[in-house]
Structure 1
Amino acid sequence: MNLTGKQKRFLRSKAHHLNPIFQIGKGGINDAMLIQIGEALEKRELLKISLLQNTDEEASEVAEVLEEKVGCSVVQIIGRVLVVYKASSKQKNQVFSSELTKL
């Protein structure tokens, strides 16, 4: 999903107050974690993922893997924190996607 600049700015403002839900450590990113991230995105649509200091992963590499395997959009990368978005397929979980269509 390609987001416009205005949509990304809106999502960044909403993600500012969120705490990271997932942490990627020295084990790196694996299939089980990708499944959990996909499920969490289905419920929340917008979340933060942090990379711990002991990981060998780079934030840009993790962003590419998430976009490819989970199908989400990386809204922002600041240091070792990623903000990712994916529209929920369930109507009751569509908090941000309904507002994004208006922008």
Structure 2
Amino acid sequence: MSLTQDQKKRFKQIGHHLKPVVMVAGNGLSEGVVSETERALHDHELIKVRFSITEREPRLELMNALCQQVNADLVQIIGKLALIYRVNRKANPKLSNVKRFAE
């Protein structure tokens, strides 16, 4: 699934106010990280993930690998933060960041 520029712009506006809900440390993409990301995407659709890896290339590889594993789109990268999105057609409007902050 590829996002349009308008979708990315809207998601960046929403994501600006979000706090990271998943943290990826030196252990990389453990089973716990992937399952927590799955849960967060199911509930919120749009989430921020913080990567504590200092080297840029390995960090970018992990960001892309995580998105691939959870079947999500990478919306934006700012330093060690990644904003990722996966649609949930049955999302709870009270939990979904996309539905709560819809204009």
Normalising by the smaller structure, the TM-score range is 0.7 to 0.9
Structure 1 residues 56 and 32, CA gap change in structure 2 (3 angstroms): farther
Which residue in 2 is equivalent to 1:23?
Answer: 23
Let me know the Cα RMSD of the aligned residues: 2.4
Count of residue pairs brought into register by the alignment: 99
Query: What are the Cα deviations for residues 5-47 of structure 1, in whole angstroms up to 9, with x where unaligned?
Result: 1100000000000111111112111122111101110000011
Counterparts of 2:98 and 2:5, CA distance in 1? 15
Q: How does 1:41-56 map to 2 (within 5 A)?
A: 41-53=41-53
How far has the Cα of 1:77 moved from its partner? Answer: 0.5
How far has the Cα of 1:89 moved from its partner? Answer: 3.7
Q: Structure 2 counterpart of 1:88, which letter? A: N
Counterparts of 2:91 and 2:27, CA distance in 1? 35
The 8 Å contact of residues 50 and 82 in structure 1, kept in 2 or not, is answered as: yes
Structure 1 residues 95 and 21, CA gap change in structure 2 (3 angstroms): closer
How far has the Cα of 1:67 moved from its partner? Answer: 2.4
Q: Structure 1 counterpart of 2:48, which letter? A: K
- Structure 1: gaps (5+ residues): none
- Structure 2: gaps (5+ residues): none
Which residue in 1 is equivalent to 2:92?
Answer: 92
TM-score by length of 2: 0.81
TM-score by length of 1: 0.81
